[in-house]
Amino acid sequence: MIPIAKPYLTTEEAHAAYDTILTGWITQGPKVEEFERKFASYVGTKYAVALSNCTAALHLALIVAEIGSGDEVICPSLSYIATANAIRYVGATPIFAEVEPESYNLDPADTEKRITSKTSAILLVHQIGMPANIESFKNLCQKYNLKLIEDAACAAGSSYQNSKIGIHSDLVCFSFHPRKVITTGDGGMITTNRKDYEQRLKLLRQHGMSISDRERHQNSKIVFEDHLELAYNYRMTDIQAAVGIKQLEKLDWIVQERRKIAKIYHERLKELDFIRLPDEKEGYFSNYQSYSIYLKDNSPLTRNALMQQLLDHGIATRRGIMTSHRETAYKYLEGVNLPVSEDLQDNSILLPIYVPMTDREIDYVIDSILKSFKNISDKPVYTTNFQQPEL
């Protein structure tokens, strides 16, 4: 069975967790600080704040950006549902805008059309690791006086205009869920250059406590904490951070390996004129957190039929990125009209991509795709040479 994804974890990560457990300091402490310092340095920002997951990161980012009830925040529906949910957590209203069919990312022109006097922010997603058009959205935010928050859950290691995602605006949120490119089990991070944001985020993740456990622990005089505002427990543990530090060291290599796989998919599938492949434009650098193909109208197989054929070959795939507005939790929104997003969800497939993926595994997936199409059309597509790879 070829899986859709798997995390790249080694004995290094296991030993890091083991060693941390034996230090006796297991929740947020020195390893979290080290991970934050190293992540900020990797991205190129002054600060990084570690959190329990990216959904928590999005929630706190919206709070520090002072988004609340009465505000509208524009985001894509075509995203994991956590994007829109975070907007609802702060009492604001998600306004779904359309995406570009080639990049699966927010369309600047459609976004501009949806700006009203209540709009206070844009929550920009870098979908499946492909950077969105950040420059256009920065310009929109400047023109209409809006806050920009980036949902870079999938985009650790991606770059835009030669700089790492995380550096282009003041609140960029990352995920370390096992489906992302690097993992801490669960985990999240916000990068920022603003000291005031960094300090408030650190308060909000730790019950609003005026001093951290670590500061109290290191103090030679007794100190008592105050709880300064209503806050949360969104801490990352030191066990997770120790794993994250090892993962971060591998990030650029993992991205490089994923890009090699994406390149092979591209080279061998580009002849099929009924499939649209990911399109990485000049200045955009994807970590290929997922590899999505879109089946055009003239595809001889429907999306579901192809998924089934691949499953019959022992290959796991996933349907395209979800549309939040068609989920039950969003049924209360009436009259949402997002034909491009719906079409992308209904007609795209995520193919297996993980490190290490052997050449035989990649070839087997590609051959199986070609064979699936060949089976049902007379048009000779490719010569195929099937052998079940030894996994």
Ligand X SMILES: *Cc1c(COP(=O)(O)O)cnc(C)c1O
Is 83 a residue that touches ligand X (CB under 6 A)?
yes
Q: Which of 55, 183, 341, 372 binds ligand X (CB under 6 A)?
A: 55
Q: Which of 2, 48, 49, 54 binds ligand X (CB under 6 A)?
A: 54
110 contacts 149 by C-beta, under 8 angstroms: no
- Look at residue 233 and give its three-state secondary structure: strand
- Comparing CA positions, the residue from 169, 230, 241 lying closest to residue 200 is 230
- Quick one: which segment of 28-36, 150-158, 250-258, 329-337 binds ligand X (CB under 6 A)? 150-158
Q: Where are the alpha helices (DSSP H) in 235-302?
A: 238-269
Q: Which is nearer to ligand X, 29 or 187 (CB)?
A: 187
Is 257 a residue that touches ligand X (CB under 6 A)?
no
* Bond preceding residue 30 cis, omega within 30 of 0: no
Q: Which is nearer to ligand X, 60 or 306 (CB)?
A: 60
First to last CA, the chain: 8
Q: Measure the CA angle with vertex 387, ends 365 and 362; round to 5°.
A: 25
Q: Which of 153, 189, 295, 349 binds ligand X (CB under 6 A)?
A: 153
Residues pairing with 74 in the sheet: 95, 122
Is 28 a residue that touches ligand X (CB under 6 A)?
no
Q: Which is nearer to ligand X, 236 or 315 (CB)?
A: 236
Q: How many CB atoms lie within 10 A of CB 390?
A: 7
Is 154 a residue that touches ligand X (CB under 6 A)?
yes
Q: Which of 50, 82, 122, 306 binds ligand X (CB under 6 A)?
A: 82
Q: Which is nearer to ligand X, 108 or 129 (CB)?
A: 129
Q: Closest distance between ligand X and the C-beta of residue 182, in Å?
A: 12
Q: Closest distance between ligand X and the C-beta of residue 309, in Å?
A: 27
Is 175 a residue that touches ligand X (CB under 6 A)?
yes
Q: Which of 28, 45, 53, 347 binds ligand X (CB under 6 A)?
A: 53
Answer positive or negative: Cα dihedral of 150, 154, 156, 158. negative
Q: Closest distance between ligand X and the C-beta of residue 154, in Å?
A: 5
Q: Look-up: residue for tokens 């193909």?
A: 293
Q: Closest distance between ligand X and the C-beta of residue 103, in Å?
A: 14
d(CA 160, CA 135): 9
State the binding string over 103-142 for ligand X (x if CB under 6 A, else -). ----------------------x-----------------
- Side-chain-facing half-sphere of 51: CA atoms under 13 Å: 31
Q: Which of 13, 98, 107, 151 binds ligand X (CB under 6 A)?
A: 151
Q: Which of 20, 28, 79, 324 binds ligand X (CB under 6 A)?
A: 79
Distances in Å between the Cα of 143 and the Cα atoms of 9, 73, 138, 140 are 44, 16, 9, 5
- Quick one: which segment of 8-16, 76-84, 116-124, 258-266 binds ligand X (CB under 6 A)? 76-84
Q: Closest distance between ligand X and the C-beta of residue 92, in Å?
A: 16
The residues in 178-207 that bind ligand X, with binding defined as CB under 6 A, are 188
Contacts of 376 (CB under 8 A, 6+ apart): 300, 301
Is 48 a residue that touches ligand X (CB under 6 A)?
no
Q: Which is nearer to ligand X, 188 or 352 (CB)?
A: 188
Is 243 a residue that touches ligand X (CB under 6 A)?
no
Q: Where are the alpha helices (DSSP H) in the chain?
A: 11-23, 30-43, 54-64, 82-89, 108-113, 134-144, 195-204, 213-218, 238-269, 303-312, 339-347, 359-376
d(CA 121, CA 115): 9
Chain contacts with ligand X (rule: CB under 6 A): 53-55, 79-80, 82-83, 125, 151, 153-154, 175, 177, 188
